[in-house]
Structures are given as structure tokens and as C-alpha cells.
Amino acid sequence: MKNIKIFNKALLKTAQALSLASVFSLNFANAATPYAWNNIAPVKTPSSTNNNGKTVLFDVSHGGVEGNADWVIDGAFSDFADALVIQGYTVKEYRGIDYNQDGVIRFHDDRVNNTPQNEAVITYDAIKNSDVFVLAETNRPFTLSEQTALIQYVNAGKGLFFIADHYDADRNLNTWDATEVFNGYNRSDLEKYNLGGQYGDWRNPKDAYSGWLVENFGIRFRFNAIDYKAGISGIKSPSETEGITQGAQPVLMAGGATLAIVDEQKAKGLVYFSENDKPTKWRHAKDSGLYFGGEAEGPYVAIAKSGKGKAAFIGDSSPIEDTTPKYKRQDNGNSKKTYPGWTDSGNAAQLSVNIINWLAKTENYTSFNNEDGHISGMVTPDAMATQEFTDPNNGNPWGTPASGFNAWDTDSYKNNAFNAAFGDIQGEPDPTPDPTTNISVSEALKMPQGSNVTVVGKVTAAVNGIYALELSDINDISSHIFVKLESTQRSDFNPQLNPEILNQHIIVTGIRNSYMNEAGIRNVSKIALAPTALSVKQALASAKGELITLTGKVKSALNDIYALVLVDNNSDLTINIKLESNQRSQFSPQLNPELLDAQLLIKGVRDSYMGGDGVRQVSNIELVSNNTPTTPEGLTVSQALALQNGTLVTVIGEIKSAINGQYALALIDADNQFETLYIKLESNHRDTFSPQINPQNIGKKIRVTGIRNDYMNELGVKYVSDISFIN
């Protein structure tokens, strides 16, 4: 029964991508097709009020999920993807082209099988509507036409982000690693790498000026393998790096490569080994691993300008990845283990977001020529070391493939691996719960019109007199949807008739549709106050697998930053709460000790965690109250500056200036012009409160409610839920 349930849900998702005619033509026998378990590529979207209109694609058509790598937006790159969504980007996974329109993108190796059926390909038409294309540890060589498509993409003013790793990171054991694929040639000069046909000659040219990458971007990846987890500290100033290094800290390297620049007007480095850094050879390096040291080793992070377009490069995935891999290994089916780089002290989180912002911005200058502030780069001496002329592996993979595994044959992949034929999830919670049940407002906004939805949210306003209401996400009033009330529902639920319903949590069941030219819910069949949150004691009595809302007091951190322990106010009964990656920075007691004894409201699935009773799949978490007094009117700027990050605050001050264009402002106390608090403005606040847009606001007094958090490396307030002028 479990497998049938899973199959039915997979079939339902497949149906969304197929025409009705083809859906109704399916029968049980031929619908149980391989790959159906995971044939819907994930998409993450920002709220309607925070959408910057730009799209970032993460490629998995050529790798990124091989070996322990899991560079997908709902796996070990989920923290990266979530950070981009917060910036307003739509983030999608790119798998290839569904040539035969069967709802599934399949990989067949055209080089070995000489078949036109390979759908895991890159074409310009397939990616042209995006703004940035992320290539993470690509482990399969590009065809000549794919290389042409990528250059056409750049020539159209778009951006490529190349994320590599150390030499010999041959994760699928096919004798290719990302440094080789990106450069456009294998380190070996054996005749077998003269692939011919649609690939061309991929033998090592033994020349720093030859190869696809260097010829188009003036830069190549080195074949080194270096460790320096303390963090590479030679960070160039923002004035030299198009502003990209603003807020960047030393970046760790856990077995990675550097690059060599041969054209200083095309490419320039952002991060180098400084004279104080003491990198070492990665312990598994096939040669000396570290060739020259210092700046002579070449940049670890770099950018390039090629005509209208741009490119960026980093020599390791470790400072970007998180510890939430989704897939199993292709070769042996084992669980993957990824590095906690996104939350490590040497993370590249801020730097990576800055890179994407730069890549996504179309600019007219075509090179780094020292004009208009676009400072040129620095040519790397010995851009191809003698050691890089030869292949220590002699054309062999870096390890012995598991018995029966063939990187070119997806039928040999183990269950639950990306591109595997089947997913075996027996004994685990259903990973695809019905998306229409008890969803948030932001999730409802993503549902297609005509969908039957049940939405939980907070009533924030009356709409169209007595006829409708506005429903917002409990934690984010910028995500809102209009609910058209039936005549029998208005007397109880319309805020104009019942002002006491404002800020109440309600559950609405109806049809996702538009109302008054806004996103809405019509044909409401059910509307009710949301059930009162359970106590920890009541939650412990709930059945496993049940979706619950509970409230309790934070007792302690659990499992470092990854969870917390919740306790009832007048009891010692506890429950373990597993935090999702996008919740840790705000709600982990390890990162925010001031949360201890704070009251939280949590929605998630009753389960076990860390050997005890727990809640997983937390979809909503809200700070109800904490230990930090706020006056009825609000704190002064100096009082707010003294609070810890993660504290919910209301602060009153005067607007001093704009910060970061229209995106923030500086707040000061009237009697203290020197202590400033940066207020990050949400998209729906900028038109009214931004001093850049409204210079007359300077000197005006405002009240701001939000979370104390750093912004642009300064003390600040983010996640602003309320802001208003004070007369």
C-alpha cells in the first residue's frame, strides 16, 4: 500500500506536466515507469512582493550529484538557494530537455551509446530565459554545441557561476573532474581523450593559453589540491572587485583548487592566499598539491567579463554547501556526507550571494580596463606549472567503481540516487505530503489557479467592505492573499463587521483564484479559527506523522545549531524540534542564546529526533514572546544596539540617511548622531520609507519592529514586520 500511495503521488505530479489527453491514456501497467519517483524538478520562488524578476538555474544535467556531491536546491545547496530566494530570485533546478515529451528527462550517454536519446543536455534556448546559470562540480564533458550555447548565453548579457573542486574530484569515476570539464580538456594527453565527433579533442594541450575556458574568459582552473580550513584571507577590497567582496570574510578551502589568470582585462581575482596564510597539500593529492603558494598560486575566487556577459569562479564547493543532502550515492546507495560550509566560520555565504547579484546585473562595460572604476586583474605567473603537463592517474578514475556500477548507465544507479530508475523509501515518512493541505499563504500563492487549497494564515485587513478579507503569512505580512467570503461567512469573519478577528489565525478551504485583480481564494467551503496550539504534553500524545501546531518554552539547543528542546512552562516534559536550514540563523539557541526561555509557536510533523520524541518538517516557527523587555513605545537606538542578534525588538529613532540605495536606512537617536542602527527595508516598505526615494524622510521619527540582526556587517534590524512614522 505504501508503494502504491507513493506511485499515485508521483503520477499526480507527472500529470501536471502532461496534457490531459496523455494523462488519461496512461494505465497502471505502463505508468509505473522508471524515474517517475523523482521526475519533477524543484522550483523555489520568492513572495510576490519580494520578487526581483530574475531567475537562477542550478544545473544537474552534467553532474553535481555524483559521489558525495549533492548540489541541488532541495539538498546540500538548499541553504544557498534559500538565501537567493530571500534576495528575490526564482531558483530552479535545470535537468535538460524533455525531447520525447514523456514528462521525464533521461540521461543516456551519447558518447558511448551513440544514441540521440540523451536529454541531459544544455542548449541556449533551454536556459536563455534565466539570468544566472550555476555549474557545480560538473563531472561530464560538454559537447561543442553545449560550449557554444554557454558562450551564447554569456554574450546575451547573462552570468555563469563555475563551482569546481580539487583536481581528481572524479566523483562518478568516469575519469573527469570539474577542473577538467570547465577548462575544456582532460589532464591526460592520451589519445582516448581525443573524443572527436560532437566533442572534439579533449587532450591536455600543455599550454596555459589553450582550452575553452581560458580562450573565452582569460582564466583556467589549476590541477592542484589544497587544504586551508582556517580561511583564505587575502581578500581584495570592494573597490577592486566590483563591490563583490563587501562583507566577505576569510573563506575556507577543504580540499580545493585555485585558478590562473592569463588575461588581466578579462579576469581578476577576488580572494588569494595572503602571506600569513599557511595552506597545505590536501592529504589525497596526486602530486605536490600546492605548487607555489601565496598569490602565485592564483586566485581561489575570481570573476570574468566577456563582452556583455559575466562569469565567476570558485575552486571548492565546501564553503557553500550545507549538511542536508537529498539523494543517495549512485554507485553504492550509501547516504552522502557533506560539509557544513554554509554555517562554518569560513563560509562563502555572503560572498556567494554577492556573486549572484553581480552576475545577474546586466552592465554595458565589456572588460576590466581600468576605466570607470573597473580595475583590471593580475596575471598569474607560471599559469601552467610543469606538474600540470602530466596526469598522475594516467587516464584512470580516482578509485575503483563499485561492482556493477557504470557512470554512463543510469540503470546501474542505486535506488534513491539522482537519475536512478527507482526510489525505495519504505519505512520512511512520505516525502511528498499533499501540498494543498494546511499550507501557508506564501505556498498558496505558488499554486496554480483552480487548485483546491486549505490555507492557514493571519487576518490582517478587511477587503472590499464586508465582502472579503486579507490573509497573510503568520510571520510575513508581505505575503498576502484575498479571501472572498460567502454571504453566510461575513457576519463571523469579516474584519469590518468583526474587528476582533484581526490578527486571528484562521483556516480557509476554497479554490485558488483571483479576486479584485489580486491573488485570491474563492468558493470558500470552510472557514474557521485555527485550533489552539498544543502544549508540549499534548504534542507528546499526538500520533507520529500527524501535522501539529504546538507552543512551548525554549529549554536548550540540541545537536549544535540543528535543533532545539522545547518544554512546557510548568512541567519538565520536553520535545525535540529539528530546525530547517532556513530557520537556524534566527531560531537556533546555539546561535541566539537570548532565545532560552523564549516562547515559540511551531508547526511541523510529529516524529522522533535524536532518539527522542520530536517534531520534524517544521513549516512555520514564530517567536511569541522572549525575555527582553521592550517599553510600550519602543527602545532607543542605543538600547537596541546592546541586544543580541535574534531578538525581537521595537525601536524608535530618527532617519539619518539611506543605506545600500533604496534597500535600507540608518536610524539614530535624536541626541546621539554617532550610534547608528541599519534597518533593512522589506520590498513593500521602500516606496514609503526609503530616504533615497523620499529624501524628505531624513530627520523624521519612525517606529520599527523586527529582528535584531546584522546587515551589511553593521548592527541592524532585519525581517521588519511593522514600520510607521511617529508624529
The residue whose grid cell reads 580538456 is 185
Q: Give tens-digit pLDDT for 625-675.
A: 554 447 457 889 988 888 877 677 889 999 999 998 888 999 999 888 888
Residue 616 has pLDDT above 60, yes or no: yes
Report the alpha-carbon distance of residue 97 to residue 95 in Å, rounded: 7
Of the pLDDT bands very low, low, confident and very high (cuts 50, 70, 90), residue 695 is very high
Residue 239 has pLDDT above 50, yes or no: yes
Report the alpha-carbon distance of residue 419 to residue 35 in Å, rounded: 7
Quick one: pLDDT at residue 569? 67
Q: Is 14 exposed, middle or buried (0-12, 13-18, 19+ CB in 10 A)?
A: buried
**Between 335 and 311, the higher pLDDT residue:** 311
> Which residue stretches of 87-136 are H helix?
110-113, 124-127
Q: Average pLDDT in the 704-726 region?
A: 85
Q: Average pLDDT in the 322-338 region?
A: 89
Q: Average pLDDT in the 516-536 region?
A: 81
Q: At what angle do helices 78-86 and 349-360 cross, to 10 degrees?
A: 60
Of the pLDDT bands very low, low, confident and very high (cuts 50, 70, 90), residue 213 is very high
Quick one: pLDDT at residue 389? 95
Report the alpha-carbon distance of residue 82 to residue 550 in Å, rounded: 25
Contacts with 462 (C-beta within 8 Å, 6 or more apart), sequence order: 468, 469, 470, 494, 495, 496
The CA-atom distances, in angstroms, between 633 and each of 55, 497, 624, 653 are: 41, 29, 18, 11
Quick one: pLDDT at residue 507? 85
Nearest to 161 by CA among 131, 136, 181, 126: 136
**Between 704 and 105, the higher pLDDT residue:** 704
What number of other Cβ atoms are within 10 A of residue 249's Cβ? 17
Residue 40 has pLDDT above 90, yes or no: no
User: For a pLDDT cut of 90, what percent of the chain falls above it?
Assistant: 52
Q: Average pLDDT in the 316-338 region?
A: 91
Quick one: pLDDT at residue 475? 59
- Distance from CA of residue 555 to its chain's centroid? 30
Q: Average pLDDT in the 538-565 region?
A: 87
Q: Give tens-digit pLDDT for 370-404.
A: 988 899 999 999 999 999 999 999 999 988 888 88
Q: Give tens-digit pLDDT for 185-196.
A: 999 999 999 999
CA-only gyration radius of the chain, Å: 27
Residue 5 has pLDDT above 90, yes or no: no
Report the alpha-carbon distance of residue 245 to residue 357 in Å, rounded: 12
Contact 444, 453 (CB under 8 A): yes
Q: Give tens-digit pLDDT for 264-292.
A: 999 999 999 999 999 999 989 999 999 99
Q: Which residues pair with 620 in a beta bridge?
A: 603
* Cα distance from N-terminal residue to C-terminal residue, the chain: 64
Q: Give tens-digit pLDDT for 109-132.
A: 666 655 567 889 999 999 999 999
Mean pLDDT, the chain, whole residue set:
85
Quick one: pLDDT at residue 204? 98
Contact 342, 72 (CB under 8 A): no
Quick one: pLDDT at residue 91? 95
